[in-house]
Each structure stands twice: as C-alpha cells, then as structure tokens.
Structure 1
Amino acid sequence: MRVLIIGDVGVQDGALHAGDEAMLAEAVRQLRARGATEVLAVSSTPDDTAARYGVVALPRLGFSLARQADETQLEARLDALTRAGEGERGALQRDDPAHAVLDAVATCDLVVVAGAGNLSSLWPHHVYERAAIVRIATALSRPVVVSGQTVGPTLSERHGALVREMLRAARLVGVREAASAALLARLDDALAPAATYDDALAIAGEAPAGLPERFCAATVPPSTGLWPRDRVVEAMAALLDHVVERHDLDVVLVPHVAPLDGSLDADAATHADVVGAMRHAQRVTSLGPVEPAQTAAVVAASSLVVSARYHPVVFGLASGIPSVGVTVDEYTETKIAGALEAHGLGDLTVPVIAAATGDAAAIVDAAMAIDRAELVARGEHARAEMERWWDAVAATATEDVPAPSIAYAEHLPVVDEALRAEVDRLAAWQRHQSQALVGSLLIADDLERVLARHTERVRVLENALGEAEAARVEAVLRAQEHEQALTAAHERLGDVAEPVIERMWAQTRSRRHLPGEELAYAIAQRDEAFVQRNLMEAELAAVLSTRMMRWTSGARRAYRAMRGR
C-alpha cells in the first residue's frame, strides 16, 4: 500500500513544531503497521522530513504562507492545481514543484490529510492547500481520509465552502472535539464526521536523561491571545510557584516550538521570562529543543502537566497524567477543552485570567487529587479507540468502510459547582473578547489585502506611465529631428527653385516684346518651371500628411511660408 500524507510539517524559521510533527510521525507509524509499504509526505523542508521519518518527502503546493495572503492569488493557485489534476496541459509551468505531488497522488492507493488545527480562516493557505490536494485526489479517483481535525472556530463563508467541499469528497472524516463536529453540522447537516482523539495520542519515545524524580511538565507559548505577554508570564509563574509550594514538584519547562540551534526564541524565550518571574526558579529545568516523541516521553514521565499549548495536554492524558489546560483565547480553548472533554476531564480547562485570581491553583489541586488509576484507564480507553480509527483509515485504501463509532469517556466532576461556575464565567468573558479581537484581525487582514492590491495597481500604472513618458520623449526627439530635416528641405527647395523661377520671370518679362516665336518659347520655359515647382509642393504635401509630420507644427509653418513664396 502506497500512502501520501499531508500535514503541517517541516522546519520553519529554523524551528520545529512538536505537535504537528508528532501527528505526522504517528500517522506514518500506524499506517506502516497496517501494511503501508511506502509513505510519501508533503513538507515545507522535504530533506529534513525525509531524514527524520524515513519517508519520500515532497514540496508543498505553492500557496503563500502569509496570513494576509491575497485571496485572489490563493484562488488562482487553487484553480491552476485543480485544472492540472484534471489533466489540463499547461495549467502549471513545466518547472512547478507541484508536479511532484500530482505525480505522487496519481500512483498512491490512499491520500491522508493528517490531523491538525488549521482548517480555520486564521490560516487560509492551509485551507486552500488541503482543498487542492483533495480535488487532485478526487480527479484521479484516489480515496481520501481527513483525520483528527479541529475545524474553526473562525471560518469565513468562502473557507467554509472549501472545507465542506473537501469533507464531502473524503471517504472518511474524523474530528477531535465536539465543538468541531457541531460547527460542521451547522455548515452542512449532511456531514457526519467520526469523533476521534488526536492523531498523535499514542506516540511514544525515550525521555532525555537528567530529569527530576518528581516534576510538573509545563509549556508556555509566546502567543498569548488577547492578553499582554507580561501578564501571562506573571500568571503562569505564580501558578508554577504554587505547584512547587503545594505539591513539592520540580518544574520542567518543555518547549513545544523551539529553534533547532537552541537559541532563546519561541517557547524558549517565554520560558526564560517565566523562570525570571518565579520565586522558586532554582527548582526549574528548562529543556532545549527535543524531538516530538521525546516531548511525549517527558510528559509521560511527569506527575502533573500544566500547559498553555495543546499537545502536552494530549500527551499527558494519553499517559494517565493529571493535566491542566490553560487557554488564552477561543482557538486554544476549542482545542484544549476539546481534548480534556474527550477524556471526561473538561473541568481541568482554565482560562489564563483564572491564574491571576487563584482559581487556576484550585483546579491544579483538584487535578492532583484525581485517582491515578482512573486517569490511566481513561488514557488506555482513548488509545484503544484510536486503534480502531487507524484500522478504518488503512482499510479505506481498498474499500468504503463505515466510520468507527468512537466513544468519549464519561464526564468526571473534579471541582465543586461554585468554582466551576466562576471559571466558566471567566472563560465565557475571555471567549467573547477573543471573538471580537479575531474579528478585528480578520477585518484588518482584509483591509491589508485590499491595500496591497491597490498598491500593486498603482505600481503597474506608474510603470505604464513611466514607459509612456519615455515613449513621448522619444517621439518628441524624433519629431524634432524630422522638423529639422523638413526645414532643411524647404531651405534647399528655396535655394534651388526660387532662382530658377526668378530667372524665368525675368526672361519672360524681357521677351514680352520679342517676336512671336521667341515669346512663345520663353512662356513655355516659364510654365515648365511652374510645373516643377508644383511637383515639389505636391511631394512636400505628401510628406506633411504623414502621422509624424502632423506632430511637427514648425514644419507646417515652414511649408506655409514656402507656399507663400
């Protein structure tokens, strides 16, 4: 079985995103275990991905990665790829890298859109890229599976239409939280996605040496949603100090996005600030960049997870570790709350503002009080359910299979109603403010795209104006040259014709009283001179009637002067 997988993988800006890489890595492992003999993967950095996972790696499909990318350009690229997939010659340039992906799809038994959280208007290029590869696969009659997705929560009408189209074309669709399923039901009630857990749920690896015996695995990203970064740093530092003081745990800061050169950027930079704000900084270990499987292994070795990123929570839940998810906006709430609710532990979702009020500390205490055996059982249940999902994914390569009916765990109340009500109130306020902020950002993006289009049009017009001005200057110079030439011609005509005419007139006048034959001869010579003059004038008139001569007013004045003579 030959499988092509598209995920959001590859080194970008010198950094690796552990969660995105983990989803692809686990999909590769699961499909190989079910008969995939060759796996191809679309990547931002094919060489790195090929070496990291032992796959045939292919370049991306050529959509701009900028969030403010011009929708017109995205649509044009989608149209070109669609026509190329349908077999239209010339739809793409001969050296277009996307040819490699089209050729790969044509020879694959299955196309898999790996799990992710980017079917959202916040990242339009991902929506277009996935729509394109599904269109190509459909045109080539290749089965498609869309696995473990978060959809939205922000989705424009156009992006929603593309998502609806690709999910209708897929044989099997899985979404990883109830909120995504609800959004798709509103988008198209005919869509019936399967409930799944995250694609990377079961990934495993070896933790690096030197970890503390008992510790809390924590991750704090630089993206802080609608909150000022320093406020989030202070809130997380206070929460981790509480973990140290109340539960006697060391803290290991695990970067989820980290530069491969170990520089203080992305999560590592935020972690340095958190350590600087903590009272118990001596009990903190900050890890450098680690492989995706190592990230999961570090989390699995911990006694508690406190994370404002999604995948550390997923890894903790899969290993039966009490995991508290800190949200900073509607998007992170959709994913983190979704993961916790799928394990029946939605009470462990907390908005970052609750860390400043002390409510987050109370939820950490509640998480630590949960029976560990109960958490382990829920993690094992999720792993078993995902085995069924991967069975169905692999089977889709050869037949239409029904989506497995995956059951989420029952809700486990872990906090009292008063605390839950207060946290829910804070979460609702944060969600509302986040929606307003994202709406403003999308409007600003639209305005930037409009401004960029008009700026480009102005540039084109300025270039055209410059070319026209250059042509005008050149035409003026040529007209001046022609005018000078015509003036010289008139002067030469005057020099030649006027003496002849004057002589003829003089001869005519002098012979008016000559005998008849001589007078007739003189008059004939005079008439011949007039004929020659008229021929010259006709020739000059023909020259004057040309387009270039019409531009030369000076030449016309010279001509009129000549005629006057």
Structure 2
Amino acid sequence: MRVVVLGDIGQSIYHVGDEAMTHAVVDELQARGITDIVLLSRNPEQSSKLYGTAAVKTLKFPWPPNRRETYLKEIQAVLAGDMDALPAADQVHTLIETIKSSDGVVIAGGGNMNSPYGWLLYERAAVGAIANALDKPLVISGQTVGPVLTGPDYDAAVELFRSAALSSVREQTSFELMREAGVPAGLTLDDASFLKAGPVDAAYSSAVPTYQPSPDRPYIVASFAPGTGAMDRDDFNQGVADLLDRIADAGQVDVVMVPHMSRPGNRDMDMETHEDIRRRMRSKNVTVCGQFTAEDAASLTMRAEFVVASRYHPIVFALAVGVPCLGIAVDYYGEVRLGGALANWGLGHTLRSLRHVVTPGFDDYVDLLWNRRNDIRAYLQDLSPAQSSFQSTWWDAVVETLKGATLDAPVLSTPEPVFPELHSGEHPAAAKLTANNESHIGHQSVELYRLTHALEDTTGTLAAVEAEHEKLRVALEDSAGKLSAVETESNELQNQLRALETSLVVRVARRLKLLRA
C-alpha cells in the first residue's frame, strides 16, 4: 500500500515543528504496516535522506492571495478535464501522476491553514482536490484552522476538510470553527505529541554547539522565536532574560536554549534571538545550542526539568512526557495554538500572553509555577497514558480509513482545568475582546496584502496594454507613412501616364496632319 504524505518539510529554513509532525506521521504509518511512503517536499533529496522514504517535489503556490486563488482554479479546471487551463509543463501534472499511483493521501499536522500562510493552505487545498478527483482517500491530521481566514481562504479550508474521508484539528478553537461550518472533524493532540525520544545516553550531535545532559545537573529548555508581537523586541528579550535568570537562580539549573527555526549553516532566527537573550542574562550556565534535528530537539526537551517557550512544539513535547512548562504567546495566533495545546492537558489557563507578562504580578506567577512543578509533573505523567492511548486510536483510524473504512473522527475528552491558583484572573470577556481585535487587525492586514498585489497585477496589465497600444500606434504610423508613399508613387505614375497619353495624342495628331497634307 502506497501513501502520499504532505508536510511542510524540506524548506530552506529548517523548522523543528513541521519536520517533527511529518516524522510522527511516518512513524505511526510504519508502525501499522504502511512502509511504502512518498513524501511531498520542497527539497526531496534532503527529505528522502532524513526520513528514509521516497520523496518528490510538492506544489509551489504564489504568495499573493489573488494569484494563489487563480492558480487553484486553474488546477481545478485541469482536474475537471480542461487540459488547456495550464501548460503541459506545469508542476501540477507530475503531482497528479504521483497521487494517481498511490492508495491514499495524508496531510500531516500543522498551523498553516489560515490566510497569513495562505500559500500553504492552497497547496493543501490543491492536493486535496487532486486526491478527490482521483477518488483517493484523504486524511487531514492535527490542524490549527485560522484564526485569521478571509472569505476565499475560509471557503478553501472548509471545502478541503469536507473532501476528507477523515480529519482532525488540534485545539478547541479550531474544533468549534469546523463544527460551525458543518464539518465533522475530530479533536486530537498535535501529531508530534508522542514523537519517539532518543536513547537516554544520546549524544545530541546534530547541533553545534550542543548540550549534553548530566544525571546530577537539572536543566531547563528555553525556545523563543524572533517575533515579539506588539512588544518592543528589546523589552521582550530583556524580560525573557530576567525570567530565565529568576528560574536559574531559584533552581540552580542550566539554561539550554534550543532553536526551532534557522537556515542551515547560519546562526540566525531563533539562535540570533537566543544569543541576544543570553547577553542580557546574569547567569553564566547558559548554552545557546545550534540547530538540532527534530528528533534531537524533542528528545532533549523531553528530559528537561522545565520548559519556557514562545515556540509551540517545545510545549507539545514537554506536556506529553510530564515536563512542566510556561508558554508565552506574543499574539492571538500564539494564544490559540499554545493555549490550545495546554488546554488539551487541562492547563490552558496557565498560558501567559504579552498583556500578562508586563504586569507587576508576573514574577510571583513564575515563582508559583516553578514551585508547583513537581505537582504538575505528577499530574501530567498520570494523564499521559490515557492521552497516548487516545492518540493511538486516532492513528489506527487513519490507517483504517486509508484502507477504505468509513469511520467517525475521534474527539478528545479535554480534562477539566487543574491547579486553579495558576489562572491569570483575566475575565473571559476581556480575553475574547482582545482576540477579536487581533483577528480584525489580521483580516485587515491580509486584505491590504491582497489589494496591494491586485493593484500591482492591474498596474502591470495596464502597462502591458499601454505598451501594446504604443506598438500599434507606431505600426499604424508606419503603415500610414507607407500608404502615403504608395499614394505619392501612384500619383506620379498617373501623371506619367497622362503625360504619355498626351504625348501619344500629339504624335497621332501630327501624323494625321501630315497625311492630310
């Protein structure tokens, strides 16, 4: 049985989370007897080496909204039989053949089914449309949908989910959005929640510099993205430095900064952010690691004493094995994902956003969370077997669906919130108002992006029309000049003819006169 798997992999920027989710899909399929797997990747050669499977080029969609919408319509036209809708050399034809030779398609988990990452949403919509046209079962696993979805993008996302034989989302917000759209998607944990950890004595050699855990020296993992939302970057990074110093001083622990995104061979993005945070810290026992593979990053995180992150997957890795964590969201997109991951374990109320970290009580909260870490660890470890069993049920359903079964998507029973003393105290109405404001701004930003590129395309079209008009004007002037020359030549010939006729008449008259004489 051959299965095509689409994940956001093989990027020029290595992303631990995206790679981890695809690793999890491959692991779970292989554990259930599906070994003929074809990955869709931006760098098939790299992905084939990392995963040990076949890999082919995925579709590359344009970023501007109007252009990606047009390209999806052209692909849909090809699937409907209009082979003139796209050139014969277009990339989609190769992908159609790849999916045609498979028995089913899985779209691995992710957080890109929204308008800000619309080119990735439309890539998935196209893959889903191809699978549907070829009558191949489509499974969509562990997605965040939204929160920002403009009209056309919302329609594309809903149509994609409706075409799936089985689908799931990974947090309550996305689950409610799908149910409101009439889509029977399930609710599951993130795909990479139970990614296989490496051996205890792993060397973690995929990164330089690296960190080697010591049995007698606890450490915390910190992972921060460059984005700081509405907060000044210097202020945010200084706040993180103070936070990490506070924990390191209290626990006599090492601070291990694990990047989740960077360009291979460069110490940029997360690593650059981590270096800036380290420069601001008082503590000296800080390691800014290089870029780990997804497996090493997950394994190192799973063995930590505590995790602090604005990145999503450090929180996912930590929760599954009982590591207490502090998630910090810098925007509403982060609140949906980080808060959703925590809520799936009964800890959604422990999330803190920018509006919380700037309050005087934040330090007290950090102290309280740190002091309750052993209780939190015991709670998570007690819950983990049931969560793991549920997630295993999901993967069983995925494989059965690929084999042709028709099943209802499982829905995670979300635990009731625990440790109420860790609640921020923010009223739900205030949180909802903030969410609505950020969503509104997000929609406006996407629409502005759409209009900007639509204007560029219109301007380009107008310029092309004007250029064609100028070409025709020059051609017309040239034709007019040639016509004038022809008319002049014609007049000259007519004059010559008249002159010739006059000369002939004169000669004839003279001859007649001579004859009379």
| TM-score > 0.5, shorter chain as reference | yes
Alignment partner of 1:307 is 2:301? no
SS in 2 for 1:478: helix
Measured at CA, do residues 437 and 226 of structure 1 come closer, stay the same or move farther in structure 2, by a change above 3 Å? farther
Q: Which amino acid aligns with 2:344?
A: A
Alignment partner of 2:358 out of 342, 356, 368: 356
Measured at CA, do residues 222 and 415 of structure 1 come closer, stay the same or move farther in structure 2, by a change above 3 Å? same
C-alpha separation between the residues in 2 aligned to 1:429 and 1:322?
A: 29
C-alpha separation between the residues in 1 aligned to 2:495 and 2:79?
A: 72
Residue matched to 2:271: 268
Residue matched to 1:537: none
- Unaligned stretches of 5+ in structure 1? 520-565
Question: Could you tell me how far 1:45 is from its partner in structure 2?
Answer: 1.2
Superposed CA deviations along residues 164-222 of structure 1, whole A, max 9, x for unmatched, are 2222221211111011111112222xx22211000011112346263353222111111
SS in 2 for 1:20: helix
Does the Cα contact within 8 Å between 2:38 and 2:53 map onto a contact in 1?
Answer: yes
Superposed CA deviations along residues 2-38 of structure 1, whole A, max 9, x for unmatched, are 11111111122xx201100100011001001101020
Residue matched to 1:199: 191
Residue matched to 1:402: 408
Question: Could you tell me how far 1:494 is from its partner in structure 2?
Answer: 5.5
Residue matched to 1:7: 7
Residue matched to 1:463: 467
C-alpha separation between the residues in 1 aligned to 2:157 and 2:338?
A: 22
Question: Could you tell me how far 1:507 is from its partner in structure 2?
Answer: 7.7
C-alpha separation between the residues in 1 aligned to 2:31 and 2:116?
A: 35
C-alpha separation between the residues in 1 aligned to 2:432 and 2:220?
A: 28
Q: Which amino acid aligns with 2:168?
A: G
Q: Which amino acid aligns with 2:288?
A: S
Alignment partner of 2:348 out of 328, 346, 349: 346
Does the Cα contact within 8 Å between 1:329 and 1:430 map onto a contact in 2?
Answer: no
Does the Cα contact within 8 Å between 1:118 and 1:127 map onto a contact in 2?
Answer: yes
SS in 2 for 1:36: coil
My pick for the range that moved more, 31-40 or 126-135, is 126-135
SS in 2 for 1:251: strand
Measured at CA, do residues 144 and 284 of structure 1 come closer, stay the same or move farther in structure 2, by a change above 3 Å? same
Residue matched to 1:531: none
Residue matched to 1:324: 326
C-alpha separation between the residues in 1 aligned to 2:126 and 2:72?
A: 6
C-alpha separation between the residues in 2 aligned to 1:362 and 1:383?
A: 33
C-alpha separation between the residues in 1 aligned to 2:362 and 2:323?
A: 17
My pick for the range that moved more, 385-394 or 202-211, is 202-211
Question: Could you tell me how far 1:488 is from its partner in structure 2?
Answer: 3.9
Alignment partner of 1:415 is 2:421? yes
Higher Rg of the two aligned structures? 1
Alignment partner of 2:226 out of 216, 222, 229: 222
Alignment partner of 1:285 out of 281, 284, 287: 287
Residue matched to 1:393: 398
Alignment partner of 1:94 is 2:99? no
Q: Which amino acid aligns with 1:391?
A: D
Residue matched to 2:256: 252
Alignment partner of 1:384 out of 377, 381, 389: 389
My pick for the range that moved more, 118-127 or 468-477, is 468-477
My pick for the range that moved more, 39-48 or 432-441, is 432-441
Measured at CA, do residues 97 and 443 of structure 1 come closer, stay the same or move farther in structure 2, by a change above 3 Å? closer
Does the Cα contact within 8 Å between 1:78 and 1:128 map onto a contact in 2?
Answer: yes
Residue matched to 1:238: 242
Does the Cα contact within 8 Å between 2:267 and 2:290 map onto a contact in 1?
Answer: no
Measured at CA, do residues 479 and 86 of structure 1 come closer, stay the same or move farther in structure 2, by a change above 3 Å? closer
Q: Over aligned residue pairs, what C-alpha RMSD do you find?
A: 2.5
Residue matched to 1:482: 486
SS in 2 for 1:50: helix
Residue matched to 1:114: 108
C-alpha separation between the residues in 2 aligned to 1:146 and 1:463?
A: 47
Residue matched to 2:438: 434
Question: Could you tell me how far 1:313 is from its partner in structure 2?
Answer: 0.5
Residue matched to 2:153: 159
Question: Could you tell me how far 1:283 is from its partner in structure 2?
Answer: 2.3
SS in 2 for 1:435: helix
Residue matched to 1:542: none
Q: Which amino acid aligns with 1:2?
A: R
Residue matched to 2:212: 211
Residue matched to 2:61: 63
- Unaligned stretches of 5+ in structure 2? 205-209
C-alpha separation between the residues in 1 aligned to 2:282 and 2:355?
A: 20
Q: Which amino acid aligns with 2:445?
A: L
- Structure of greater relative contact order (alpha carbons < 8 Å, 6+ residues apart): 2
Q: Which amino acid aligns with 1:45?
A: N
C-alpha separation between the residues in 2 aligned to 1:149 and 1:109?
A: 22
Q: After TM superposition, list the pairs within 5 Å mapping 1:70-85 onto structure 2.
A: 70-71=65-66, 73-85=67-79
Question: Could you tell me how far 1:506 is from its partner in structure 2?
Answer: 7.3
Q: After TM superposition, list the pairs within 5 Å mapping 1:24-63 onto structure 2.
A: 24-63=22-61
Superposed CA deviations along residues 343-384 of structure 1, whole A, max 9, x for unmatched, are 011122001343332444333333321312222223333222
C-alpha separation between the residues in 1 aligned to 2:382 and 2:347?
A: 13
Question: Could you tell me how far 1:109 is from its partner in structure 2?
Answer: 2.0
Question: Could you tell me how far 1:129 is from its partner in structure 2?
Answer: 1.9
SS in 2 for 1:421: coil
Question: Could you tell me how far 1:224 is from its partner in structure 2?
Answer: 2.2
Measured at CA, do residues 306 and 277 of structure 1 come closer, stay the same or move farther in structure 2, by a change above 3 Å? same
Alignment partner of 1:453 out of 438, 441, 457: 457
Residue matched to 2:207: none
My pick for the range that moved more, 227-236 or 132-141, is 227-236
Does the Cα contact within 8 Å between 2:105 and 2:131 map onto a contact in 1?
Answer: yes
Length, aligned pairs only: 501
Does the Cα contact within 8 Å between 1:86 and 1:140 map onto a contact in 2?
Answer: no
My pick for the range that moved more, 402-411 or 152-161, is 402-411
Superposed CA deviations along residues 24-73 of structure 1, whole A, max 9, x for unmatched, are 01100100110102001111111111111112212122421x2xx142x3
Measured at CA, do residues 283 and 200 of structure 1 come closer, stay the same or move farther in structure 2, by a change above 3 Å? same
Question: Could you tell me how far 1:82 is from its partner in structure 2?
Answer: 2.6
Question: Could you tell me how far 1:422 is from its partner in structure 2?
Answer: 4.4
Measured at CA, do residues 160 and 201 of structure 1 come closer, stay the same or move farther in structure 2, by a change above 3 Å? same
Aligned residues with identical type, % of pairs: 31
SS in 1 for 2:173: helix
Superposed CA deviations along residues 288-316 of structure 1, whole A, max 9, x for unmatched, are 11100111011112111110011111011
